[in-house]
C-alpha cells in the first residue's frame, strides 16, 4: 500500500471530492484525518473508511481552528505526513456585481487558508523525529483558463498554483514536497446542480461531453488516486508541479464541432 502508516489530513472531506480523496488514502493504508466545516458529515465519512480515521469539525478559514486541527491530529496519530488542501468555496457572479465581502470570503477560504494551514502543518512536519512530508493543493482548471463571473475563484485557484511553486522551492531542501492538482468537471453536487439548472439535462450532458475529450465527467476517486500518488514516496522526484486531471479539457482549443468536417490537407 502506497501510504501505509502515514498520517494524512484531508480538508473539505465531509463529501464530494474530499471524501473521494479520503477513501483512496485510507484504502492505501493511511490514517486519515477527515476535516470539514460540517462535523457530522466529517464523522460519517470517517466511519465509512476502511482504516483508522479521525473526524474533526474545522473552518479552515479560521486560524484558531487550523491550529486545533493540527494539535488534535498529532494527539491522535502522533505525527503528520501529508496534507491535502481541498476545502474551498465555489463562486460565480458577474464582475460588476461582486462585493468586497464576497471577494474576501473566497480568498480567505480558497487561498489564505491554504497558505496558513500549510504553514502550521509544515512546522509540525519539521519538528518530528522523521521530518518531511508532502502537501497536495487542490486547484482547478480555472488556474489555466477562465469563465465569466468567476474572478475571485479564478484568482484564488491561480494563486494556489503560484504560491505552491514558491513553497516547493523553499521547502525542498527540508524534505517537504508541494504539488497541485487541477481537476476538471467532477461528478459531485456541483455537476448535479449544473444539470438541474439546464433546460435539458440531456443537452447539458452533450454540451459538456463536447468540451471534455474523454467524453465524461471525472470521478472523485480518480483525483484521489493522483493525490495518493503525490503523497507517497513513489512521487519523490515531483515537487512544484500542477497536474491537470481534466479529461483533456484544457488541451482542447475550442468546443467540439457539432458536425464532421472534411479533411483539410493544405495546399
Active site residues: 153
Q: For the chain, how far is it from start to end, CA to CA, in angstroms? A: 56
**Whole-angstrom distance, CA of residue 87 vs CA of residue 108:** 11
**Whole-angstrom distance, CA of residue 92 vs CA of residue 194:** 12
Element (H, E) at 224: helix 220-231
Which letter, b or e, does each residue of 203-229 get, where b requires 16 or more Cβ atoms within 10 Å of its Cβ?
Answer: ebbebbeebbeeeebbebbbbbbbbbb
- Mention every residue, 6+ apart, whose C-beta is less than 8 A from residue 198: 204
Amino acid at each position: 500500500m502506497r501510504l501505509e502508516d502515514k498520517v494524512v489530513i484531508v480538508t473539505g472531506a465531509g463529501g464530494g471530492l474530499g471524501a473521494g480523496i479520503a477513501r483512496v488514502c485510507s484504502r492505501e493504508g493511511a490514517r486519515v484525518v477527515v476535516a470539514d466545516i460540517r462535523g457530522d458529515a466529517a464523522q460519517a465519512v470517517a466511519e465509512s473508511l476502511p482504516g483508522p480515521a479521525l473526524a474533526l469539525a474545522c473552518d479552515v478559514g479560521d486560524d484558531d481552528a487550523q491550529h486545533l486541527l493540527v494539535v488534535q491530529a498529532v494527539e491522535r496519530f502522533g505525527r503528520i505526513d501529508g496534507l491535502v488542501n481541498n476545502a474551498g468555496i465555489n463562486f460565480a457572479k458577474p464582475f460588476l456585481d461582486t462585493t468586497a465581502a464576497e471577494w474576501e470570503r473566497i480568498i480567505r477560504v480558497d487561498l489564505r487558508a491554504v497558505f496558513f494551514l500549510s504553514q502550521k502543518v509544515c512546522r509540525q512536519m519539521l519538528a518530528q523525529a522523521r521530518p518531511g512530508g508532502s502537501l497536495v493543493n487542490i486547484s482547478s482548471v480555472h488556474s489555466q483558463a477562465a469563465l465569466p463571473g468567476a474572478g475571485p475563484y479564478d484568482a484564488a485557484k491561480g494563486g494556489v498554483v503560484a504560491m505552491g511553486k514558491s513553497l516547493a522551492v523553499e521547502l525542498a531542501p527540508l524534505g517537504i514536497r508541494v504539488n497541485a492538482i487541477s481537476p476538471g468537471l467532477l461528478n459531485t453536487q456541483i455537476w448535479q446542480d449544473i444539470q438541474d439548472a439546464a433546460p435539458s439535462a440531456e443537452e447539458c450532458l452533450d454540451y459538456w461531453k463536447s468540451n471534455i475529450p474523454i467524453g465524461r465527467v471525472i470521478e472523485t476517486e480518480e483525483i484521489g488516486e493522483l493525490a495518493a500518488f503525490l503523497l507517497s514516496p513513489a512521487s519523490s522526484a515531483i515537487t512544484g508541479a500542477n497536474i491537470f486531471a481534466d479529461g483533456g479539457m484544457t488541451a482542447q482549443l475550442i468546443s467540439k464541432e457539432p458536425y464532421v468536417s472534411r479533411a483539410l490537407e493544405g495546399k
